[in-house]
Amino acid sequence: MPTAAQIRAARALLNWSQQDLAAASKIGRRTVNAAESGHLVSYDTLRAFRKAFEAKGVKFFRHRDGVSVRLIER
C-alpha cells in the first residue's frame, strides 16, 4: 500500500489537491491529510487512494533503497 510520501508524490504528479484525491477516492479530505501526515489509516483507505491514482496512470514501486511513484503515459 502507498506510504505517506508516495501519496504526496502521486498527488504532485497529477497536480491534485487533497480535495481532488478525496473526491476521486470517496474518502474525506481530513483523512487524506491524516494519511499524508503519517497517521495510521485503514487498509481500505489506502486501497481507495491507490485505486484512484492508478486509474489516472500512477504506479507505485518498492525498491530495496525505498519507495517511488511514476506516472505512466496512456
Spacing of C-alpha 43 from chain mean position: 12
CATH architecture observed for domain 4-71: Orthogonal Bundle (1.10)
The model's pLDDT over 27-62, given as tens digits with 9 standing for 90+, comes to: 999 999 999 999 999 999 999 999 999 999 999 998
| Distance in angstroms (rounded) separating the CA atoms of residues 18 and 33 | 7
Q: Are 58 and 10 in contact (CB under 8 A)?
A: yes
What is the model's pLDDT at position 7?
97
Mean of the per-residue pLDDT values for the chain?
Answer: 95
What is the model's pLDDT at position 74?
63
